[in-house]
Amino acid sequence: MSNRNIYSFRVLYVVLLMTLILSCSSEKNKEFSEIVKISLRDVGHQLLLSNQDSTSLVLPIVALEKTRYKLSFQNQLSIDPDSLVSIVKSSFQKSELSKYYRVEVFQCSDQEVAYSYEVKDTEERGVIPCSGRILDEGCYSIEVKFTKMTTSFFGRHIPLMVLFTGVLGFLGFIILKRKQTVLREEHIENHASIGSFRFYPEQNKLVKEAIEISLSKKECELLEIFVARPNQIIKRDELEKRVWEDQGVIVGRSLDTYISKLRKKLKDDDTIKLTNVHGIGYKLEIDL
């Protein structure tokens, strides 16, 4: 495989990988937001039920930032911090959301924080103050901020996508390399045997064992004609026409000169003779 093909493949693979990761990340962000909203609606519902309220509404959940959400209510309610902590924990666990978050309860009247706490993986590692002090009935909103995004949500699918893309890229690389190898082998095998020589017309060369013998364009064209018709007399007129026709003018001794050069390059094999048939043309004699 050429360096240019390898480079192009790598660029294509990186672009594909980045596109899939970004696409996956975008989809996961959207999915995360929807799951958080469902979970917070459940939190609101449970808080209303703890207030013996089964009729008033949980207002639409608002995404304030990428990882910050607001829960608010149609009517007033009282909030027991112990119940709030337990309800949020249970709902988030069911939804497999991050275990790192901060909860703040705001008073609607002045937007002061009436109660807040923070969880870091477990309640024991977080800060949960004022246990047992119930907030009197009033208008409250609750904001939740996820302080750390763990692999529990974001990371569980992305590695699979990266692995799938890596496997896909590896298979593509193998297929491309195999195709290049086949083409190269076909190119290498595209030769004709002349005694102990291998003749490669596309590469303008003869090969004898490990020795390469370069051929000029005219020498190659002449030898290609002879190889196609071994042990047959080929007339001078035909040779001159096929090799020099595109030049318009044929120099009288050009054919003889190139025949002489070919003889010298084939002299190491006694089974090959490029003979002159007087007054007619030439013949490549090969012991078949």
Instruction: Kindly report the pTM of this predicted structure.
Output: 0.47
Q: What is d(CA 288, CA 285) in angstroms, rounded to the nearest whole number?
A: 9
| pLDDT exceeds cutoff 50 at 1 | no
Q: What is d(CA 184, CA 31) in angstroms, rounded to the nearest whole number?
A: 49
Q: What is the mean pLDDT of residues 177-185?
A: 56
Q: Where are the domains of the chain?
A: 3-146, 217-286
Helix (H) or strand (E) holding 136, with range, is: strand 135-138
* DSSP 3-state of 247: helix
| Residues facing residue 183 across a β-bridge | none
Third-level CATH fold of 3-146: Threonyl-tRNA Synthetase; Chain A, domain 2 (3.30.980)
pLDDT digits (tens, 9 = 90+) for 102-154: 999 999 999 999 999 999 876 666 667 656 688 999 999 999 999 987 654 54
Closest by CA to 148, choosing from 125, 130, 115, is 125
User: Are 3-146 and 217-286 equal in CATH topology?
Assistant: no
Q: What is d(CA 144, CA 129) in angstroms, rounded to the nearest whole number?
A: 16
| pLDDT exceeds cutoff 70 at 47 | yes
Most confident of 13-17, 56-60, 192-196: 56-60
> What's the pLDDT at 287?
79
pLDDT digits (tens, 9 = 90+) for 62-79: 999 889 999 999 999 999
Question: Domain 217-286, what architecture?
Answer: Orthogonal Bundle (1.10)
* DSSP 3-state of 44: helix
